[in-house]
Amino acid sequence: MAKQRIIVVGGGLAGLMTTIKIAEMGVAVDLFSIVPVKRSHSVCAQGGINAAKDQQGQGDHPDIHLDDTIYGGDFLANQTPVKTMCDAAPQIIDLLSRMGVPFNRTPEGFLDFRRFGGTLHNRTAFAGATTGQQLLYALDEQVRRFEVAGLVTKYESWEFLSLIRDEDDGRVIGITAICNPDMSIHHFAADAVHICTGGPGIIFGKSTNSYINTGAAASRCYQQGAAYANGEFIQVHPTTIPGEDKLRLMSESARGEGGRVWVPKDGKPWYFLEERYPKYGNLVPRDIATREIFSVCVEEGLGLDGKNQVYLDLSHLDETFLNRRLGGIMEIYEKFAGDDPRKTPMRIFPGVHYSMGGMWVDFEQQTHIPGLFAVGEVEYQYHGANRLGANSLLSCIFGGMVAGPKSIEYINGLKRSADDVAPSAFAAEQNRQIEVFDDIYRMTGKENPYDLGDEMGEWMTNNCTIVRHNDKLAATDEKLVELLERWENVGVNDASRVYNQYVLRTRQLKDMLQLARVICLGALRRDESRGAHFKPDFPERDDENWLKTTMARHTPEGPSLEYEVVDTSIIKPRPRVYSKS
Amino acid sequence: MAQKTVQLRVKRQDGPGARPRWEHFEVPHAPGKNVISCLIDIARKPVTLEGRETTPVQWDCACLEEVCGACTMLVNGKPQQSCSSLVDNLEQPIELAPLTKFPVVRDLVVDRQKMFKNLERFRAWVPIDGTYPMGEGPLLSAEDQQVRYNRSRCMTCACCMEVCPQINGRSDFVGPAVIGQVEFFNLHPSGPEEMGKRLEEMMGTGGIHECGNAQNCVAACPKEIDLTDAIAEVGRQVTIFAVKKFLHSS
Amino acid sequence: MPEVPYKEFILRRLHSLTGIVPMTVFLAEHFWTNSYALQGAERFNEAADHIRGFPYIILIEIFGLGLPFAFHIAYGIKIIYSGDYTIYANNPAKNWMYVLQRVTAFPILAFLVFHVITIRILHGIGDDVDLHATMVDVFANKFLLAFYVVGIVCTCFHCANGIATAAITWGLTVGPTSQKVAGAVAAGVGLVLSGMALWSIRGFMPEAAPEAAEAIEAMKAAPETVLYLIESLRGVIA
């Protein structure tokens, strides 16, 4: 067999961990990233990473971590991979610590842990309030080591465009990608491809996601045959800072360190989460905190100054303590909102944050397309109907640790390498993509992708987030179809073949619209309430009919939905009631 | 005072080596608006203040909350992240220009790869044996963690490079950012061998000796990294290393 | 010729070293000797003769002073060429120090060449030398006096700032506090040196009143220059 190569698309935590695992086993990796990898969205993760190391005498255990995760996810996650992840978590923390991540320390010099939502244990290791950034840098450094050793080739400022599949057996044999600085389109051969491109938050217009989190790569794979699972499960984070261009995350760790949520009621602070959830207090899972804040503002009309805002209060805590443990997020609040959260309560409101759903993968992180793997937020596997805080970094890294070696196992079992395929197959797909872009360059309509994107975002945010109604979801899907039609009428006013974001955004928008339909129709179909998916008309969880995974497949007419049984082999589903338990 | 519009002057350049020009724009104002929102507004309707149709301005951005470092540009002459540059804090017309110490790709987009190459050159990593379970990492005092954390927040944004008078076409100084990283990794208890390699490289072309002590870097760093501390500390390490190396050399 | 490893590093550190030893050390000695003038022409000439009478004086002057000076100057020109001279608005004080350190090099060089040629070479060689008289003649010219004042002040600033930055370069002062303290100490050294040098000029004033008055008039530039020096150094202290 010819020289083996594996492609990793995406340079966030998931992509980097996958790359490290593959390179460590001696196989060459081509790593594609739309931005220099150090600028990936993982930098935005703030609060920490979970691992039941039980270093504080609370009797924590990976099994409790598993139960918290499954229960927090309202039993929609397949339990076997979640268990493996929770079991591996302590070793992952050790590895990161060995890599030099500057985790906060106890006075003796051990790792410190704090509490996060949906658990009663201090399980979250953290590096100030920029944990994601610190983990990303640590993995980036290890990848750089392999780069110097010649095992990794980075393609930064390159955007993934499409998969190249073998005509005979449909397996992945490569990708096409566009080089942003000169807008040239190229093909690359590989025996396995990992998609690690993160979530689709920009579909909702304003979210806590980075500007690059369009979900376009996942959508492109979906349109080429990969199934997209549980798309309707979108996490709305309870505490974000409203902004003009994005909603900036105010980490759950703020509450983990003692921050309190309140609104004034009858002239006094009303700590409504603490009152309604005496045991978990401000640290109920995110879906619940979000719905409570939403109802206090929208239904009870108690938002600050009549706006959809509540207080998140840290001002009662010691300044040095805050600076050491939450410095990063307080800086963000100071810079963008202009007030000092050490002195005045922050004003926050829920905002779209994370997609529990994503590309369907098996327990080995492989999609339905042979040789196509998916890792990180882009896949659906670990969080069920609602993700617990500080589990996302864990799932990215763990997923990479599974996917890397499994993809090598996969290519070792192949009879034919991608190099054995006739070059014409690669050239054909490359030409098809060149054609797609030439068509975009020729568009002369009146619409522009930014306004269309805003419209999509508004409809999706209004109708497809915290509270969902079937009539509105149906109308939203109609709107998405309309936007897809109007997309054909976009006008491209920039013929430049140098770093043309307008053209790239136009292309991404169409893929975002396709994926938005998956999210919207999945929500429309699922007549129950589970985790982040809440329908007032169907307020209960319905295990009999809906304890199953949504799987969307692309057809020319739109998404076709199938359902798959959920693996509940370890923990029997039970009612999810945080107010008592 | 809320203004109804925001005026911007943007330095445009169609591609590498192309001749730069200035264009004047006006976009709607909104409370809390940042420079990036203005650039998105321009992309929506790329028409100059004089009413002439033009192409959308190109810029880099990702996180929009000043942790990724992508959107650094000169805002009214100062290098800073355009996401955290709120228009209400800026004098108008807001002048946007690309960083001057890096090759321009297009408009406000520059190529900062040389900073990542520096990280390669100076072995900015902890040389772990492998990713397999090998037990816990080394203990670290809370105080040392605070120093390491401060250095580790470097997002390779290039503000320090832009204001450093020693970085220009006549000097090959590697710049403050990577020296901070060298100190960061030298602080890790992972063995003196790597530290020696980093220090040796620091004595090479464009190394720490090119620093001119203007101390602009520390004033420009948006993450308040103690870059001058790092430079002096690495200077000290290099001094000791060089003397020892000389005394032991055969 | 084989490539010298770490050439630039070694040259740059040598440049820093030659600035401190011998240059600053020599300067202190020189100004101390000048101060004998305050005790009269005879005492000064004695002191100067004593030094000129050192054994191996030519060797000391050539290899201990001349060559290091020449190197410091030559490599300094390279450093000056490789710098940028725009001031970063967020850090004006220290950025100005960076610029002044380089800018002062030019008047220093001009002064140094003039001073060495006119005093040491043209009037300072031989057995029958009255350096005090020579200096009195020099200072009788108010332009030359002003030139000396500027030269001295620039040299002292360059030395003081050089001491402060060398402490950083060699890694003696790592944190802001130690750098501030070192900056203050260096400023003190600069003030003492320049004070000593400027004050000792009084010892070279001619007896005749009119010229003295004229010379003292010209010296008014000195306090202003010194004040400027203090102002500049406050940046280091601040």
Stretch A392-418: mean pLDDT, rounded? 96
Q: Does residue A1 surpass a pLDDT of 50?
A: no
In CATH, which of 3.90.700.10, 3.30.70.360, 2.40.50.180, 3.40.720.10 is domain A239-347? 3.90.700.10
Contacts of C8 in chain B (CB under 8 A): 205, 207, 209-210
Q: Does residue C228 surpass a pLDDT of 90?
A: no
Mode of pairing for the β-strands spanning A184-189 and A372-374: unpaired
Side-chain-facing half-sphere of B46: CA atoms under 13 Å: 18
CA B170 from chain center: how many Å?
Answer: 20
Q: Does residue C212 surpass a pLDDT of 80?
A: no
Considering only the beta carbons, identify the residue of A36, A332, A502 that sits closest to B65: A332
Q: Does residue C229 surpass a pLDDT of 70?
A: no
Beta-bridged to residue B168, according to DSSP, are B171
Phi-psi region of A36 (alpha: psi -120 to 50; beta: other; left: phi over 0): beta
Mode of pairing for the β-strands spanning A28-33 and A152-156: parallel
pLDDT computed for residue B1 by the predictor: 47
Contact state of A38 with B155 under an 8 Å Cβ cutoff? yes
Residues of chain A with pLDDT > 90, as a percent, come to: 97
Residue at token pair 């549980």: A230
> Does the annotation mark A576 as catalytic?
no
**Contact of chains C and A by CB distance (3 or more pairs under 8 angstroms):** no
Contact state of A98 with B134 under an 8 Å Cβ cutoff? yes
Give yes or no: residues B241 and B119 share one domain. yes
Contacts of B39 in chain A (CB under 8 A): none
CA A232 from chain center: how many Å?
Answer: 13
Q: For residues A72 and A578, what is the distance between their CA atoms, to the nearest angstrom?
A: 9
Q: For residues A124 and A103, what is the distance between their CA atoms, to the nearest angstrom?
A: 10
Helix C176-200 and helix C221-237, axial crossing angle in degrees, nearest 10: 170
Give yes or no: residues B9 and B54 share one domain. yes
Contact in structure between B81 and B222 (CB atoms under 8 Å): yes
Give yes or no: residues B145 and B105 share one domain. no
Residue type, A504: L
**Segments of chain B scoring below 70 in pLDDT:** 1-3
What does each C-alpha distance from C104 to C152, C153, C172 come to in angstroms?
11, 9, 25
Contact in structure between A373 and A365 (CB atoms under 8 Å): yes
Contact state of A246 with B68 under an 8 Å Cβ cutoff? no
Chain A contact present for B180, CB below 8 A? no
Chain C contact present for B166, CB below 8 A? yes
Contact in structure between B29 and B87 (CB atoms under 8 Å): yes
Contact in structure between A406 and A364 (CB atoms under 8 Å): yes
Q: Which of C63, C64, C82, C80 is nearest to C25 (CA)?
A: C64
The minimum CA-CA distance between B105 and chain C, rounded to whole Å, is 23
Beta-bridged to residue A274, according to DSSP, are none
Q: Is the dihedral of CA B14, B16, B21, B26 positive or negative?
A: positive
Q: Does residue A301 surpass a pLDDT of 90?
A: yes
Burial, C42: exposed, middle or buried (Cβ in 10 Å; 0-12, 13-18, 19+)? Answer: exposed
Q: How many CB atoms lie within 10 A of CB B193?
A: 9
The minimum CA-CA distance between A206 and chain B, rounded to whole Å, is 11
Considering only the beta carbons, identify the residue of A35, A38, A245 that sits closest to B40: A245
Contacts of B233 in chain C (CB under 8 A): 171, 174
CA A539 from chain center: how many Å?
Answer: 26
Find chains touching chain C: ≥3 CB pairs under 8 Å: B
Q: Token pair for residue C67?
A: 């060559």
Assign C223 a pLDDT band (cuts: 50, 70, 90): low
- Per CATH, the homologous superfamily of domain A1-43+133-233+356-548 is FAD/NAD(P)-binding domain (3.50.50.60)
Total beta-carbon pairs less than 8 A apart between chain A and chain B: 201
pLDDT computed for residue C126 by the predictor: 77
CA C216 from chain center: how many Å?
Answer: 22
Q: For residues A519 and B109, what is the distance between their CA atoms, to the nearest angstrom?
A: 34
Q: How many CB atoms lie within 10 A of CB A414?
A: 18
The minimum CA-CA distance between B183 and chain C, rounded to whole Å, is 12
Dihedral, CA of residue B127, residue B129, residue B133 and residue B139, to nearest 10: -50
Stretch C65-83: mean pLDDT, rounded? 96
Residue at token pair 């304890």: A547
Beta-bridged to residue C10, according to DSSP, are none
Beta-bridged to residue A162, according to DSSP, are A176
Contacts of B245 in chain C (CB under 8 A): none
Give yes or no: residues B118 and B238 share one domain. yes
Q: Which of A13, A18, A8, A15 is nearest to A42 (CA)?
A: A13
Give yes or no: residues B88 and B161 share one domain. no
Q: Which of A252, A248, A243, A304 is nearest to A280 (CA)?
A: A252
Contacts of B171 in chain C (CB under 8 A): 82-83
Considering only the beta carbons, identify the residue of B207, B216, B239 that sits closest to C170: B239
According to DSSP, residue A530 is labeled B
Q: Token pair for residue A464?
A: 């497809």
The minimum CA-CA distance between C79 and chain B, rounded to whole Å, is 9
Q: For residues A69 and A58, what is the distance between their CA atoms, to the nearest angstrom?
A: 18
Considering only the beta carbons, identify the residue of A36, A99, A210 that sits closest to B128: A99
Render pLDDT for B140-195 as a digit per residue (tens, 0 to 9): 999 999 999 999 999 999 999 999 999 999 999 999 999 999 999 999 887 778 99
C109 phi/psi in degrees, rounded to 5: -60, -45
Dihedral, CA of residue A221, residue A225, residue A227 and residue A231, to nearest 10: 50
Assign A7 a pLDDT band (cuts: 50, 70, 90): very high
Q: For residues B103 and C35, what is the distance between their CA atoms, to the nearest angstrom?
A: 56
Q: Token pair for residue C98?
A: 């960076």
Q: For residues A310 and B177, what is the distance between their CA atoms, to the nearest angstrom?
A: 39
Render pLDDT for A542-562 as a digit per residue (tens, 0 to 9): 999 999 999 999 999 999 999
Contacts of B139 in chain A (CB under 8 A): 108-110
Q: Which of A220, A286, A468, A507 is catalytic?
A: A286
pLDDT computed for residue B249 by the predictor: 84
Run of H or E residues at B92: none
A22, closest residue in chain B (CA to CA): B131
Contact state of C173 with B232 under an 8 Å Cβ cutoff? yes
Tell me, what CATH number does B188's domain have?
1.10.1060.10
Contact state of B134 with A448 under an 8 Å Cβ cutoff? no
Q: How many CB atoms lie within 10 A of CB A150?
A: 9
Q: Is the dihedral of CA C175, C178, C181, C187 positive or negative?
A: negative
Contact state of C169 with B211 under an 8 Å Cβ cutoff? yes
Chain C contact present for B244, CB below 8 A? no
Provide the residue ranges of all domains of chain A, joining segments of one domain with +: 1-43+133-233+356-548, 239-347
Give yes or no: residues B76 and B165 share one domain. no
Contact state of B210 with C88 under an 8 Å Cβ cutoff? no
Assign A483 a pLDDT band (cuts: 50, 70, 90): very high
Beta-bridged to residue C16, according to DSSP, are none
Render pLDDT for A427-471 as a digit per residue (tens, 0 to 9): 999 999 999 999 999 999 999 999 999 999 999 999 999 999 999
Q: Which of C60, C36, C40, C59 is nearest to C48 (CA)?
A: C36
Chain B contact present for A136, CB below 8 A? no
Number of structural domains chain B divides into: 2
B27, B41, B68, B110: which to substitute to probe chain A, counting the most A Cβ within 10 Å?
A: B68
Averaged pLDDT of chain A: 96
Top CATH class of C7-237 equals mainly alpha
Checking ipTM against 0.90, whether it exceeds it is: yes
Render pLDDT for A263-273 as a digit per residue (tens, 0 to 9): 999 999 999 99
Q: Token pair for residue C193?
A: 């040196």
Run of H or E residues at A172: strand A172-179
Q: For residues C4 and C1, what is the distance between their CA atoms, to the nearest angstrom?
A: 9
A501, closest residue in chain B (CA to CA): B58
Q: Does residue A318 surpass a pLDDT of 50?
A: yes
CA B57 from chain center: how many Å?
Answer: 21
Q: For residues A312 and A348, what is the distance between their CA atoms, to the nearest angstrom?
A: 7
Residue B38's domain comprises 5-110
Q: For residues A512 and A532, what is the distance between their CA atoms, to the nearest angstrom?
A: 21
Find chains touching chain B: ≥3 CB pairs under 8 Å: A, C
B125, B143, B186: which to substitute to probe chain A, counting the most A Cβ within 10 Å?
A: B125
Contacts 24+ apart (CB under 8 A), C127-136: C129/C45, C129/C48, C129/C49, C129/C52, C130/C41, C130/C45, C131/C44, C131/C45, C131/C48, C132/C37, C132/C41, C132/C44, C132/C45, C132/C48, C132/C204, C133/C41, C135/C37, C135/C204, C136/C41, C136/C204, C136/C205, C136/C206
Q: Token pair for residue A27?
A: 């196989």
Contact state of C94 with B163 under an 8 Å Cβ cutoff? no
Contact state of B78 with C9 under an 8 Å Cβ cutoff? no
B215, closest residue in chain C (CA to CA): C94
Contact in structure between A399 and A362 (CB atoms under 8 Å): no
Chain B contact present for A339, CB below 8 A? no
Q: For residues C38 and C205, what is the distance between their CA atoms, to the nearest angstrom?
A: 10
According to DSSP, residue A184 is labeled E
Q: For residues B219 and A390, what is the distance between their CA atoms, to the nearest angstrom?
A: 34
Contacts of B108 in chain A (CB under 8 A): none
Stretch A28-32: mean pLDDT, rounded? 98
Assign C128 a pLDDT band (cuts: 50, 70, 90): confident
Provide the residue ranges of all domains of chain C, joining segments of one domain with +: 7-237
Considering only the beta carbons, identify the residue of B68, B139, B145 that sits closest to A39: B68
Stretch A370-386: mean pLDDT, rounded? 98
Chain B contact present for A24, CB below 8 A? yes
B66, closest residue in chain A (CA to CA): A332
Find chains touching chain A: ≥3 CB pairs under 8 Å: B
Stretch A210-231: mean pLDDT, rounded? 98
Chain C contact present for B5, CB below 8 A? no
Chain C contact present for B55, CB below 8 A? no
Q: Token pair for residue A421?
A: 């395929």
Q: Token pair for residue C90?
A: 């967020």
